[in-house]
Amino acid sequence: MASSNSIVLAFFLLATLIATSRANFNNDFAITWGDGRAKILNNGDDLTLSLDKSSGSGFQSTNEYLFGKIDMQLKLVPGNSAGTVTAYYLSSMGPTHDEIDFEFLGNVSGQPYTLHTNVFAQGKGNREKQFHLWFDPTKDFHTYSILWNPQRIVFLVDGTPIREHKNMESKGIPFPKNQPMRIYSSLWNAEDWATQGGRVKTDWAQAPFTASYRNFKADACVWASGSSSCGSGSVPKSGSEWLTQELDSASLERMRWAQKNYMVYNYCADLPRFPEGLPAECTATS
């Protein structure tokens, strides 16, 4: 039988491994702008972004990723947040960049937030789908996730998929799969378009506006020095099954529920916007 000292030592080593593997804002992110309006708190467990009339604020990940399952918990700006945008997204750099967007468009008190999603491939976006949420995102933290693998991009809210964007390169449609991306987030003033198309402006008497972040997690392929931590061929290792993950029947049903009840804009249904025909992915089948 192991001695009590051995058991205590083993438990201590296990606890140390867990502690060092836990994501930490001090280690995983850098504040990039805002002149002190962004703050990392509680020894790296929490982060806040603030916006006032002079400036917003933002941060970015220290790592670049090429595919991953990214989770972040956010609590959005409460009250009258009209005109503000809290953006949380993955992006590469340059004119032909790829990007996967969550943007939370502020609201007048008593009205719902608009969750704006978009996918850019090789510098081209215009793939917006917007949702209202089935909860108040300012009252508590909720988990917003991006599943990105070579076959698909899935947007999830508290584990519920709300949108899937499939790889249709076989149909000649670009898909983000060659450019590593960092995680970015910012809180900024977009009163010219964010709330009711810009009709409702920011009420600066409510400033400073603050959004809060915690519990970041990245099960992801880290890109460094021209190579991926997942190796070549995107062959899943144990614990990285997300690299080939698909939506099962229960997840597809849950996504249909979210889209039927909470999707308020779908670019693939906006015929007046595309008089020469809907984007190719709207009519193609994978």
Residue pLDDT, tens place only, 171-222: 999 999 999 999 999 999 999 988 888 888 999 999 999 999 999 999 999 9
The single residue of 103, 164, 191, 281 carrying the catalytic annotation is 103
Spell out a b/e string for 51-80, using b for 16 or more CB atoms within 10 Å of the CB, else e: beeebbbbbbbebbbbbbbbbbbbbbbeeb
Specify if 8 maps to a domain: no
Specify if 10 maps to a domain: no
Specify if 228 maps to a domain: yes
Per-residue CA distances from 37 to 50, 83, 153 (Å)? 5, 18, 32
Looking at the structure of the chain, the number of domains it has is 1
164 is catalytic: no
What's the CATH number where 86 sits? 2.60.120.200
Specify if 141 maps to a domain: yes
Specify if 42 maps to a domain: yes
Query: What pLDDT, on the 0 to 100 scale, is given for residue 23?
Result: 79
Specify if 18 maps to a domain: no
Domain that holds residue 109: 23-283
Query: Model-level pTM greater than 0.75?
Result: yes
99 is catalytic: yes
The single residue of 64, 99, 164, 281 carrying the catalytic annotation is 99
Residue pLDDT, tens place only, 106-130: 999 889 999 999 999 999 999 999 9
